[in-house]
């Protein structure tokens, strides 16, 4: 039995419509197996990654549960192509649509997509694995869709943890087996976290690093404008004149915790069908802006990026 911390904030965060799984993908798979009707179809955005060590966070449970799937296009900013989504819905009549808020930046047409799904009797799933507190107008991400998933360990200092949140009373909240529940320490960390302060620091770090990186040749910031509603996971950039993988290794060798979301797309997203997705995948690098990074470390990161990309020496 997990002992939940006491207090108003803890009660609010450990609410009855949330399931705390070991990972977001485990929560999603549990939903598919225990709640979802059989033989249903889901539409996914055309930018989903895979890695040898971690697999694919969203696509693995879909494959494991034998769910039929299709893809809708995303543009140069990884925003859902609304007209293509409408077309795919008309053609395939899916049970659900999954929307990903990449890098913590909310999908700008989330409300319109929700209305579209409602008009067609389609379930909307929000993938909020990259953010907790980003907003879309007056709505917090994760509250618009019928179902949403969050990843605790991407935001907080936890070893594991994902949330499956059920917003539609049509679906019951599934119970997890003991070995599927995340560590009690993860839940306690989440319940006691000062999320507003963490969000403010991440935004501050993003703005500081974006200003530094702006002057680095052959590097372009993916989202140069940070609006007041966005709490980013990292600072995504596109690399122009150097092999991204070599740059990734170079920076990691300098103890800089860069990532590349997503350096490899799942093979089902074919380059000939989704060339924009594959171009982004080849060029993208994600720079850390977490709440524990210092201003000096951000300056060191930007200087190391400049040296590595433009082959200068200090």
DSSP string, 264-302: SB-TTS-TTT-HHHHHHHHHEEEEE--TT--HHHHHHHH
**45 and 166 assigned to the same domain:** yes
Q: Compute the chain's Rg from CA coordinates.
A: 20
Q: Indicate whether 119 belongs to any domain.
A: yes
Residue 274 belongs to domain with CATH number? 3.90.1150.10
C-beta contacts of 86-94 below 8 A and 24+ residues apart: 86/116, 88/43, 89/43, 89/116, 89/120, 89/122, 92/41, 92/43, 93/41, 94/40, 94/41, 94/42, 94/43, 94/70, 94/122
Q: What is the 3-state secondary structure (H, E, C) of 178-195?
A: HHHECCHHHHHHHHHCCH
d(C-alpha 257, C-alpha 312), whole Å = 21
**36 and 155 assigned to the same domain:** yes
Q: Indicate whether 289 belongs to any domain.
A: yes
Q: Indicate whether 2 belongs to any domain.
A: no
Any residues with CB less than 8 A from the CB of 167 and at least 6 apart, and which? 17, 142, 143, 144, 145, 146, 147, 148
In the chain, the number of structural domains is 2
Half-sphere exposure of residue 308: CA atoms within 13 angstroms, side-chain side: 23
**268 and 235 assigned to the same domain:** yes
3-state secondary structure (DSSP) of residue 73? coil
Tokens encoding 303: 């200087």
Q: Indicate whether 157 belongs to any domain.
A: yes
What pLDDT is stored for residue 172 in this prediction? 86
pLDDT in tens, 60-99: 999 999 999 999 999 999 999 999 999 999 999 999 999 9
**119 and 150 assigned to the same domain:** yes
**160 and 200 assigned to the same domain:** no
Tokens encoding 154: 């991407």
Q: Indicate whether 271 belongs to any domain.
A: yes
Q: Indicate whether 3 belongs to any domain.
A: no
What pLDDT is stored for residue 59 in this prediction? 97
**58 and 203 assigned to the same domain:** no
Handedness of CA 77, 294, 133, 61 (dihedral sign): positive
Q: Indicate whether 276 belongs to any domain.
A: yes
List the domain range (segments joined by +) for residue 38.
8-192
Tokens encoding 22: 């070991």
C-beta contacts of 2-8 below 8 A and 24+ residues apart: 2/181, 2/184, 2/187, 3/184, 4/187, 4/188, 4/191, 5/188, 5/191, 5/192, 7/191
Successive 10-residue mean pLDDT values, the chain, 314 residues = 52 81 94 88 98 93 96 98 98 97 98 98 97 94 97 94 94 88 93 95 98 96 96 97 95 95 97 98 98 96 96 60
Q: Tell if the pTM clears 0.75, that is, is over it.
A: yes
The domain boundary, picked from 165, 192, 219, lies at 192
**154 and 46 assigned to the same domain:** yes
**179 and 235 assigned to the same domain:** no
**18 and 127 assigned to the same domain:** yes
Residue 17 belongs to domain with CATH number? 3.40.640.10
What pLDDT is stored for residue 12 in this prediction? 65
Which residue blocks in the chain are alpha helix, DSSP H?
8-13, 24-34, 59-64, 82-92, 110-120, 184-192, 195-213, 244-253, 275-283, 295-310
Q: Indicate whether 298 belongs to any domain.
A: yes
**151 and 200 assigned to the same domain:** no
Contact 221, 289 (CB under 8 A): no
What pLDDT is stored for residue 10 in this prediction? 60
The domain boundary, picked from 177, 192, 207, lies at 192
**113 and 51 assigned to the same domain:** yes
**225 and 290 assigned to the same domain:** yes
The domain boundary, picked from 172, 192, 212, lies at 192
């Amino acid at each position: 039995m997990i002992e939940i911390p006491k207090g108003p904030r803890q009660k609010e965060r450990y609410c009855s419509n949330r399931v705390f799984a070991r990972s977001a993908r485990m929560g999603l798979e549990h939903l598919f197996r225990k709640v979802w009707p059989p033989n249903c179809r889901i539409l996914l955005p055309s930018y989903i990654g895979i890695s040898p060590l971690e697999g694919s966070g969203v696509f693995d449970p879909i494959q494991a549960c034998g769910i039929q799937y299709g893809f809708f296009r995303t543009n140069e900013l990884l925003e859902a192509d609304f007209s293509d989504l409408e077309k795919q819905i008309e053609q395939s009549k899916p049970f659900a649509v999954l929307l990903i808020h990449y890098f913590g930046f909310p999908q700008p047409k989330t409300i319109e997509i929700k209305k579209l799904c409602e008009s067609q009797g389609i379930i909307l799933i929000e993938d909020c694995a990259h953010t907790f507190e980003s907003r879309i107008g007056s709505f917090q991400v994760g509250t618009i869709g019928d179902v949403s998933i969050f990843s605790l360990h991407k935001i907080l200092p936890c070893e594991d943890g994902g949330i499956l949140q059920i917003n539609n009373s049509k679906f019951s909240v599934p119970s997890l087996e003991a070995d599927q529940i995340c560590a009690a320490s993860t839940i306690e960390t989440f319940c006691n976290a000062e999320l507003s302060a963490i969000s403010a620091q991440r935004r501050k770090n993003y703005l500081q690093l974006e200003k530094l990186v702006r002057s680095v040749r052959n590097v372009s910031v993916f989202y140069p404008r940070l609006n007041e509603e966005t709490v980013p996971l990292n600072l995504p950039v596109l690399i122009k004149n150097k092999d991204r993988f070599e740059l990734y290794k170079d920076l990691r060798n300098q103890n800089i915790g860069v990532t590349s979301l997503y350096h490899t797309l799942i093979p089902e997203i074919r380059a000939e069908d989704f060339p924009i997705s594959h171009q982004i995948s080849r060029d993208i690098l994600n720079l850390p802006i977490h709440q524990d990074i210092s201003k000096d470390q951000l300056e060191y990161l930007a200087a190391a990026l400049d040296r590595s990309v433009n082959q200068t020496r200090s």
